[in-house]
Amino acid sequence: QVQLMESGGGLVQAGGSLRLSCAASGGTFSTYAMGWFRQAPGKEREFVGGISGTGINTYYSDSVRGRFTISRVNADNTVYLQMNSLKVEDTAVYYCGASTAVYYYRRHYARTAYDYWGQGTQVTVSS
């Protein structure tokens, strides 16, 4: 069983930056691919970024590519999401997920590919 805890959310002005963290406990962290999703009010949870267990491969949604960076430090059991050039439309609750999917590179964008989820952290971007 893996437990995930997000932190780092908050209120920021448009154009600003935030860095989210997701700390994992239980299991062997390096064996899990990790992803970040977000859910805005009235909308479905959507994929933001993903990273393989080794950290070599990363994936992004079109809406954040070039502005957000996902990374991980396996020795610390932590995955990060660096968010730059934030926009009002980035406002959402951000969740991290852990995946044991065999073909993660094919399924990184799918919620069903993730076995464990954190409770989420709120990010609010003001204009």
40-95 pLDDT, tens digit each: 999 999 999 999 999 999 999 999 999 999 999 999 999 999 999 999 999 999 99
Decide: 58 and 47 in contact? Cβ < 8 Å: no
Whether pLDDT at 98 is above 90: yes
Identify the helix (H) or strand (E) that includes residue 107: helix 104-107
What's the pLDDT score for residue 37? Answer: 98
What's the pLDDT score for residue 125? Answer: 98
What's the pLDDT score for residue 114? Answer: 97
What's the pLDDT score for residue 102? Answer: 85
